[in-house]
Amino acid sequence: IHIKRNNENFILRLNSELANLHFVDCSVNTAGRNIVGLIGTSAASIHDVNFENISIENKSTARTYMGVIAYQQGGRIGIYDEQHPELGKVVLKNIKVGTNGIKNVQVGGLSGYVTGFAQLDNIEVEQITVKGNGYVGGLVGNGGNASYDHITMKDIQVTSYGNRYVGGLVCCMSCTYNSNSKAGIHNVKISGTPVYDDEGNVVDSTTVIAFDKKNLLTGSNNTNSSHIGGITGYTTVYENGFYYDPKSKEYENAPIAIDGIVVKGYTNYIGGAYGYSYRTDNVTVSNSLITEADQVTVASQRVGGISGYQYYDARRLECKNTRVVISNHSRVGLIAGEKV
């Protein structure tokens, strides 16, 4: 399917199923709606679908959801079969969302907002650029109470011109613990190709998650920002990096890996994987750089190689060949900036 020139949603609302399709060389460029994407609103099961060379741009000044699927209400995206992992996969390659960087309140490469305990499983992402002024995530903007499993992402550029909530996978997610909920982050890898200086230190990468101080709405510089991480800027979800069976009370590892990326924040809650997190098990951050987005006069607080702020005790955390470089700081650590 090819869609060019100025278009609104190809599918305004999807309720049942979308499968066995390849969207290629498509663009959506509209000022007419506040739900902007190839698919406007979806509650469907989407699997065995490729999205390639897609541009989603918003010219509206309204409160906006933006992504290939602007708003996912429940349902599922991708299906994982351990014996046949290539079946059921959703692939995104060379995607640009929010290319004007203005007034994109909830924006992600795949979806701006995901809610209703949606399941995202078996998704492969390569070469995504996401820009926005609000809730900004590489895959999903506002992640709500969804579950994320078997997801690989590489060569992604995520930039916020606002002042809070940015993540490589999802900008933020929140869910009160519920034994029937599958909400959480499992088996996720985000990677890039790092650039090294003469001393072997990472100084740049093909994957960068960053705040930009320039506010495109006001034309002035933001004076502070908070909550940015290679995985997510903010999560109160309990199951990250493991599965928990409430009946047997057994844990199963579901590792999270960050490799060769750069995270750039300033002021508060900055982490290689999580800006602010409740539970952060089974996380490895390697060959990466966590640093400030720009030279700032206020102190950056709660900065960590894995988590800026970590609430609960964690197991199996590893940070290797990774630097945390902050010039003016308070509460900085290689694993966590602050642990309570």
Q: Beta partners for 260?
A: none
Asked if 108 and 78 touch (Cβ cutoff 8 Å), the reply is no
Q: Which helix (H) or strand (E) holds 135?
A: strand 135-137
CA dist 171 and 21 (Å) reads 28
pLDDT of residue 183: 82
Measure the CA angle with vertex 339, ends 285 and 234; round to 5°.
65
Stated length of the chain? 340
Give tens-digit pLDDT for 94-150.
999 986 666 668 999 999 999 988 999 999 999 999 998 889 999 999 998 899 999
DSSP-assigned letter for residue 299: P
**How many angstroms separate the CA atoms of 168 and 230, rounded?**
5
**Structure confidence at residue 326 (pLDDT):** 87
* Distance of alpha carbon 273 from alpha carbon 167, whole angstroms: 8
CB 172 within 8 A of CB 235: yes
Cβ-proximal residues to 277 (8 Å cutoff; 6+ apart), any chain? 229, 232, 234, 235, 240, 271, 307, 309, 310, 311
Low-confidence ranges of the chain (pLDDT < 70): 2-8, 31-32, 59-63, 99-104, 175-181, 215-219, 295-297
pLDDT digits 0-9 by tens, 157-181: 999 988 889 999 999 988 655 545 5
pTM here?
A: 0.94
**pLDDT of res. 64:** 80
User: Which of 301, 287, 137 is closest to 203 using CA atoms?
Assistant: 287
Any idea what DSSP says for residue 311?
Answer: -
Dihedral of alpha carbons 134, 166, 127, 281, sign: negative
Residues 6+ apart with CB under 8 A from 325: 289, 290, 291, 292
